[in-house]
Amino acid sequence: MLQISLHNAAKRFNKDWIFKDLDYTFEMGKHYALIGNNGSGKSTLLQVIAGYIGLSKGTITWDKHDTHTVYKQISLAAPYLELIEEFTTIEQFEFHEQFKPLIKDISIDQIIDMIGLKQASHKQIRYFSSGMKQRLKLALAIFSEAPILLLDEPCSNLDKEGYALYHMLIQQYAFHKLIIVGSNDPMEYNYCKDCVNLLDYKVVGNNS
> Domain ranges in the chain?
3-201
Using CA atoms, how far apart are residues 189 and 150, in angstroms rounded to an integer?
12
The C-alpha angle 146, 162, 150, rounded to 5 degrees, equals 25
CA distance readout (Å), 149 to 50, 102, 123, 184 = 9, 13, 27, 18
Average pLDDT over residues 100-123: 96
DSSP letter, residue 177: S
Tell me if 102 sits within 8 A of 145, measured CB to CB: yes
DSSP letter, residue 203: P
The yes-or-no verdict on residue 72 having pLDDT over 90 is no
* pLDDT score recorded for residue 1: 58
Q: What is the CATH number of domain 3-201?
A: 3.40.50.300
pTM (two decimals): 0.94
104 falls in which pLDDT band (50, 70, 90)?
Answer: very high
DSSP H/E element including 17: strand 16-27
Task: Convert the pLDDT of each residue in 6-64 to its tens digit.
Answer: 999 999 999 899 999 999 999 999 999 999 998 899 999 999 999 999 999 999 999 87
Q: In what order do the strands lie in the sheet with 3-13?
A: 16-27, 3-13, 57-61
